[in-house]
């Protein structure tokens, strides 16, 4: 059994990183939060936050889950002071997880300079404490891993996505929880996924989630198919869906979850990211980092990101593993890519070989290996408004 090293949290979960999260609670506090983190941005101090002033249950839940993610060791909340976000409730939630937490209110502290000075001093102290924290042994069965694809082209469904699916099969066999998404990019595959569901009831929930996504995009008049996909050789949403579906591998689907739901046990899970109810908030995921943030809010220690056209983004809190499906893209952008899955297309590797490589790279992250996006300083993050209903009992069958 592969053993990694992790940081033990109060709830029994373990993190493969020990990040200080600096979370702004309204866009008006974003600059101050960014300036607080700047001197230590290369020492695992990451900025996250919610730009909206009007409160939103989804956004609050997301920040609760992110601030108590196993990869997070301490949290600084940065408030302007007059926003509607409930900073007191969030601080109490984080404190209950026995993480160090502190709130800076810019209006009360005395303005920009005073808030930055106070924040930097607090973060530096916490960073020193976390750097001295001991680690414990961690098994693959304790991992949660997400996957997403972006900047897809005609090679994504031939190399990168199937290789990620093989890695998922290997990780699930070792007891890890693996999460794939997005229902809006799986239209046409719902019956195939339903046949893989642990129970018929779960299968119907999966079909319903994809149908909801189709209705949502139809109302918007714009589906999850970009001009760049067409330029890269994809012809239809069905073709893109089949490629995206390949990321899921071949394991039985153990459950259907929504953003902020943490898988209760190992297995394969589908993440429904399309809001419930009437269309209220616009395009469900305005870019790939919105999906990455939701995967992390579900507990993902790391996220596999398959790209054909080439994407450079990473993420705050959890490492992003870049799997490049197109060999030409890899040669052009190799400094941003962790895995050259395009060599399958050129006969330089077998699909199973690259899948094993991805699995091994995931495990190496738990022993301190950095991804390319981490080494390059990528810490992208975005959180918008959404609305979800709780999942039902058939979504997580025993």
Which pLDDT tens digit goes with each residue over 49-74? 999 999 999 999 999 999 999 999 99
- Does 291 fall in a domain? yes
Task: Assess whether 273 and 254 both reside in one domain.
Answer: yes
The residue from 100, 132, 164 where one domain ends is 132
Q: Give the mean model confidence (pLDDT) for residues 1-24.
A: 94
- Kindly state whether residue 9 falls inside one of the protein's structural domains: no
Q: Is residue 158 part of a domain?
A: yes
Q: Are residues 149 and 105 in the same domain?
A: no
117/148 same-domain check: no
Separation CA 324–CA 338 (nearest Å): 8
Q: What pLDDT is recorded for position 3?
A: 87
128 and 148: one domain?
A: no
- Do 40 and 110 share a structural domain? yes
Mean of the pLDDT values across residues 322-338? 97
DSSP states of 251-285 as a string? SPEEEEE-TTPPPSSSEEEEE--SPSSS--SSSS-
How many domains in the chain? 2
Q: How far is CA 303 from CA 172, 190, 232, 294, 297, in A?
A: 15, 23, 23, 11, 11
**Which CATH number characterizes residue 34's domain?**
3.40.50.2300
User: What pLDDT is stored for residue 240 in this prediction?
Assistant: 58
The residue from 78, 108, 132 where one domain ends is 132
Residue 348 belongs to a domain: yes
Same domain, 77 and 33: yes
Query: Within this chain, do residues 332 and 189 fall inside the same structural domain, yes or no?
Result: yes
Comparing C-alpha atoms, which of 247, 230, 249 is closest to residue 325? 247
> Predicted confidence band at 221 (pLDDT cuts at 50, 70, 90)?
confident
For residue 13, tell me if it sits in a domain: no
- Whether residue 104 lies inside any domain: the answer is yes
Are the C-beta atoms of 22 and 73 separated by less than 8 Å? no
- Looking at the chain, list the stretches that DSSP marks H as alpha helix, in order from N- to C-terminal side: 30-37, 57-67, 87-96, 106-109, 112-131, 160-173, 190-196, 200-220, 227-231, 237-245, 288-297, 327-332, 351-365, 372-375
Check pLDDT > 60 for residue 171.
Answer: yes
Domain boundary among 81, 106, 132: 132
223 pLDDT above the threshold of 80? no
Distances (CA, A) of 116 to 18, 48, 53, 161, 361: 22, 16, 21, 43, 37
Residue 10, domain member (yes or no): no
Q: What is the mean predicted confidence (pLDDT) over 180-205?
A: 94
Q: Go through 100-130 and write b for each residue having 16 or more CB atoms within 10 A of its CB, e for each that does not.
A: bbbbbbbeebeeeeebbebbbebbbebbeeb
Query: 304 is written with which tokens?
Result: 């596999």
Please indicate, yes or no, whether residues 83 and 160 belong to a single structural domain of this protein: no
Distance CA 87, CA 63 (A): 11
Q: Is residue 276 part of a domain?
A: yes
Across 291-307, average pLDDT: 97
Each residue of 109-124: pLDDT tens digit? 999 999 999 999 999 9
Instruction: Note whether 96 and 125 are same-domain residues.
Output: yes
* pLDDT tier, 151 (very low <50, low <70, confident <90, very high otherwise): confident
Tokens of 66: 């992110």
Decide if pLDDT at 242 tops 90.
Answer: no
Note whether 53 and 202 are same-domain residues. Answer: no
Residue 110 phi, psi (nearest 5): 125, 10
Residues 205 and 331 placed together within one structural domain of the fold = yes
On the question of pLDDT at 258 being above 80, the answer is yes
Q: Note the pLDDT of residue 222.
A: 72
Task: Give yes or no: residues 34 and 117 share one domain.
Answer: yes
Quick check: 219 and 165 in contact, CB under 8 A? no
Residue 237: pLDDT above 80? no
262, pLDDT greater than 80: yes
Residue 325 contacts residue 342 (beta carbons within 8 Å): yes
Domain span at 263: 140-395
């Amino acid at each position: 059994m592969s053993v990694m090293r992790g940081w033990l949290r109060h709830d029994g979960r373990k993190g493969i990183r020990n990040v200080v999260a600096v979370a702004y609670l309204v866009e008006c506090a974003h600059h101050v939060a960014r300036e607080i983190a700047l001197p230590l941005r290369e020492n695992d101090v990451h900025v996250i936050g919610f730009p909206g002033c009007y409160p939103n249950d989804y956004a609050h839940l997301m920040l609760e889950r992110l601030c108590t993610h196993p990869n997070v060791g301490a949290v600084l909340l940065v408030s302007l002071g007059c926003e509607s976000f409930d900073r007191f409730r969030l601080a109490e939630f984080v404190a209950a997880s026995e993480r160090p937490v502190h709130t800076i209110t810019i209006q009360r502290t005395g303005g920009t300079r005073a808030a930055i000075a106070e924040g930097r001093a607090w973060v530096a102290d916490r960073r020193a404490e976390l750097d001295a924290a001991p680690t414990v042994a961690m098994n693959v069965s304790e991992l949660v891993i997400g996957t997403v694809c972006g900047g897809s082209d005609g090679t994504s469904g031939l190399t990168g996505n199937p290789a990620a699916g093989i890695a998922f099969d290997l990780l699930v066999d070792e007891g890890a929880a693996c999460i794939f998404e997005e229902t809006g990019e799986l239209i046409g595959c719902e019956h195939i996924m339903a046949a893989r569901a642990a129970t018929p009831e779960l299968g119907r929930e999966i079909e319903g989630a994809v149908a909801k996504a189709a209705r949502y995009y139809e109302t918007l008049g714009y589906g999850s198919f970009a001009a760049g996909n067409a330029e890269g050789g994809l012809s239809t949403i069905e073709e893109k869906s089949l490629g995206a579906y390949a990321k899921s591998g071949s394991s039985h689907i153990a459950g259907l979850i929504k953003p902020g739901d943490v898988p209760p046990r190992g297995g394969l899970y589908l993440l429904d990211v399309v809001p419930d109810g009437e269309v209220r908030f616009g395009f469900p995921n305005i870019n790939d980092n919105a999906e990455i943030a939701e995967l992390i809010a579900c507990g993902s220690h790391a996220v596999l990101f398959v790209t054909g056209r080439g994407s450079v983004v990473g993420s705050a809190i959890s490492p992003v593993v870049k799997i490049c499906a197109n060999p030409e893209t890899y040669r052009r952008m190799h400094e941003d890519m962790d895995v050259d899955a395009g060599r399958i297309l050129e006969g330089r590797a077998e699909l199973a070989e690259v899948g094993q490589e991805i699995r091994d790279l995931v495990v190496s992250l738990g022993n301190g290996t950095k991804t390319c996006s981490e080494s390059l300083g990528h810490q992208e993050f975005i959180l918008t408004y959404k609305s979800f209903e709780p999942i039902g009992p058939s979504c997580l069958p025993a």
